[in-house]
Structure 1
Amino acid sequence: MNYQIELRHLHYFLAVAESLHFRKAAERLFISQPGLSTQIKQLEQALHTQLFVRDKRKVVLTPAGEYLKAEVEYLLNHLELTKKQVQHIGNGELGELRIGFLGSAMQQVIPDLLLLLKKRFPKINTTLDELSNTAQLNAILKDKLDLGFVRLSRVPKGVALAPVFEDTFSLVLPKNHSVTVENFKGMQQFKEEEFILFSAAYSPLYYDTVMSICEDAGYVPRVSHKSVHAQTIFKLVENGLGIAIIPTQLQNGFDMAVKFIELRKIKQRAVLSVIWKLDNRNPVLKQGVDLLLRN
């Protein structure tokens, strides 16, 4: 029998492909396991291709199934995006701009962009999602974000990268630390200190840059703690568990018993960039990019 592929087949396939377990996928979809198995068999017959290898112990995707999983994720995401954009346009709006960002972008770049968008294009809706560099890049590639604000030095082919803000770095020290702005001579003064850094997985470029700041001073820093949140880093510093190096603007908005020394004379800078997918079809992306690059 020749089956036609319907949308439900793709939803059912994706549920099994994600869980690799027919019973769990059936429970998630609120259908019976035999019914789900029938739907998957129909899809395999329609494609003339086996998508899963099944035995009593496990379920695995075939190479064709792996390929289809990525394509179905893209198709269903694009369908959901299209539905939302149509609803926005139907309500008299221009559309929605989905923005990912690192926490430091919220100090100036994101607020400035949102205010400009509200002033110039009041009918563009925006959504914000704070994510790591890697998570933003993956979301951009899968069309789950339109813009990402990251600290990356390179991106894959098909993704645009443009610097939008350059900042200095600052030391974060406990309030009672003996080094002050007045007696600060250089990073060599902190050779014996323990450092608290943003995780390398969260921001590899930041991590490598901070390591290079210390290496230029003649040593490799001893990293005692890592975090993805500035507030956590400041709290650890406040309690005397180490010192930190952050983009200077990140010090704004916190009230803790720490002090900052701006590292103006070092060559390293904290560069924040915007990324977007060149073939993204979101009709409002161009307005957002143009505003950023002009301002």
Structure 2
Amino acid sequence: MDYRDWEILKVLYNQKNLTKAARILFITQPGLTNRLKHMQEELGVKIITRESRGVHFTPQGEYLVHCAEEALAHYQKIKENVRNMSKNVSNEVAGTLKLGVSNFFANYELPYILKLFKMQYPHVEFKVITGWSRDVTQLIHNKDVHISFVRGDYGWRGLLKHLLFEETICIASKEEIDITDLPHLPRIDYRGDYLLKSLIDNWWAENYAQAPFISIEVDQVDTCKEMVINGLGYGILSSRILTGIEDIRLIDLTDQKGNPLLRRTWMYYHQESLEWNVVKAFVHFIENFDWKDN
């Protein structure tokens, strides 16, 4: 068993399909099948069975997949440590930086940040995984990424964090509206992460006895924003997504004491990750980044 074998097992387990796995691994399906046959002969066990719905792993195969994840993670750590040793000698910032990023941050903030960082450190490459904030938090907790950018006050013990910025949650409408009429007005709702949805739902329950009138439901916050801009209803959105948009009326949500409801965006990372020059440089870059001008 070598590195490639472990990689094959991990990809095939995730895909449960030989054709898809072969495409991801950039090998032919017969080549993949032949390699699996050699693995089974070498170990003397059956790793997979082929069924009409795809590939099924035997108990021995499940165990080997677990070993594959550990072996690949260990190999990656060895590569990073060796590279970091040589970088410490030359004081060069280079290598691959693994980032876990919330969907909003990936769309609105990250490209410009990576552009500026790349200009300063041209030998750095990036591996970026995007998703909902709760999933991105899990990535950094599991050490699948070096740094994560998370919207909302998720948190794990043992992680270092840095507050990037705060934004208000607001009612956005093309036309001026009376907040007391909100339950009777058409609302454009969208799929947000759990903490944001809870924040909005709790605010609504504190202020209204009847449920909102949801006229349109969409999957993405950007779609909701465009519908609001075109006067199809109001939306409850984070203020940062509305920056620079004219002719939109905004009303900040407040708690019972009149304080604005805030949504925070954080950078999370592990202390030991700062041993790597590329992580240390990026953390320092973010900590000194001027978010007001971005």
TM-score (norm 1): 0.69
Q: Which amino acid aligns with 2:280?
A: K
2:153–2:264 contact (8 Å) kept in structure 1: no
1:159–1:275 contact (8 Å) kept in structure 2: yes
Deviation by residue 1:63-107 (Cα, 9 ceiling, x = unmatched): 443454355356547757848x94995994344434424425876
Q: Which amino acid aligns with 1:240?
A: G
Q: Which amino acid aligns with 2:200?
A: V
Q: Which amino acid aligns with 2:252?
A: E
Output the CA distance in 2 between the equivalents of 1:56 and 1:214: 49
Q: Structure 1 residues 56 and 171 mapped into 2: Cα distance closer, same or farther (>3 Å)?
A: closer
| Counterpart among 168, 182, 185 of residue 190 in structure 1 | 182
Deviation at 1:199, TM superposition (A): 1.0
Output the CA distance in 1 between the equivalents of 2:166 and 2:266: 9
Q: Which amino acid aligns with 2:27?
A: F
Output the CA distance in 2 between the equivalents of 1:209 and 1:143: 28
| Counterpart among 27, 32, 35 of residue 30 in structure 1 | 27
Q: Structure 1 residues 78 and 132 mapped into 2: Cα distance closer, same or farther (>3 Å)?
A: farther
1:105–1:272 contact (8 Å) kept in structure 2: no
Q: Structure 1 residues 148 and 11 mapped into 2: Cα distance closer, same or farther (>3 Å)?
A: closer
Q: Which residue in 1 is equivalent to 2:194?
A: 204
SS of residue in 2 equivalent to 1:69: helix
Q: Structure 1 residues 233 and 10 mapped into 2: Cα distance closer, same or farther (>3 Å)?
A: same
Q: Which amino acid aligns with 1:30?
A: I
SS of residue in 2 equivalent to 1:212: helix
Q: Which residue in 2 is equivalent to 1:132?
A: 132
Q: Which residue in 1 is equivalent to 2:292?
A: none
Is 1:52 aligned to residue 45 of structure 2? no
Give the unaligned 5+ runs of structure 1: none
| Counterpart among 225, 237, 251 of residue 261 in structure 1 | 251
Output the CA distance in 2 between the equivalents of 1:108 and 1:13: 36
Deviation at 1:193, TM superposition (A): 2.2
| Counterpart among 232, 240, 247 of residue 241 in structure 1 | 232
Q: Which amino acid aligns with 1:125?
A: V
Count, aligned residues = 276
Is 1:275 aligned to residue 265 of structure 2? no
Is 1:216 aligned to residue 206 of structure 2? yes
1:151–1:205 contact (8 Å) kept in structure 2: no
2:137–2:154 contact (8 Å) kept in structure 1: no
Is 1:286 aligned to residue 285 of structure 2? no
Deviation at 1:52, TM superposition (A): 2.2
Q: Which amino acid aligns with 1:221?
A: P
Q: Which residue in 1 is equivalent to 2:104?
A: 103
Q: Which residue in 1 is equivalent to 2:154?
A: 154
- The structure where helix makes up a greater share of residues is 2
Q: Which amino acid aligns with 2:124?
A: N
Q: Which amino acid aligns with 2:61?
A: G
Output the CA distance in 1 between the equivalents of 2:22 and 2:226: 45
Output the CA distance in 2 between the equivalents of 1:229 and 1:136: 18
Deviation at 1:258, TM superposition (A): 2.7
Deviation by residue 1:89-141 (Cα, 9 ceiling, x = unmatched): 599434443442442587679867986x689x746736466543245335435
Deviation at 1:205, TM superposition (A): 0.9
SS of residue in 1 equivalent to 2:224: helix
SS of residue in 1 equivalent to 2:184: coil
Deviation at 1:209, TM superposition (A): 0.9
Q: Which residue in 2 is equivalent to 1:69?
A: 65
Deviation by residue 1:226-262 (Cα, 9 ceiling, x = unmatched): 33333x222111233321122222211445x532233
SS of residue in 1 equivalent to 2:153: coil
Q: Structure 1 residues 263 and 138 mapped into 2: Cα distance closer, same or farther (>3 Å)?
A: closer
Is 1:226 aligned to residue 225 of structure 2? no
Give the unaligned 5+ runs of structure 2: 290-294
Q: Percent identity?
A: 19
Output the CA distance in 2 between the equivalents of 1:27 and 1:234: 37
SS of residue in 2 equivalent to 1:242: coil
SS of residue in 1 equivalent to 2:266: strand
The CA RMSD over aligned residues, in Å, is 4.3
Output the CA distance in 2 between the equivalents of 1:284 and 1:160: 17
Output the CA distance in 2 between the equivalents of 1:216 and 1:16: 49
Q: Which amino acid aligns with 1:248?
A: S
Q: Structure 1 residues 278 and 57 mapped into 2: Cα distance closer, same or farther (>3 Å)?
A: same
Q: Which amino acid aligns with 1:10?
A: W
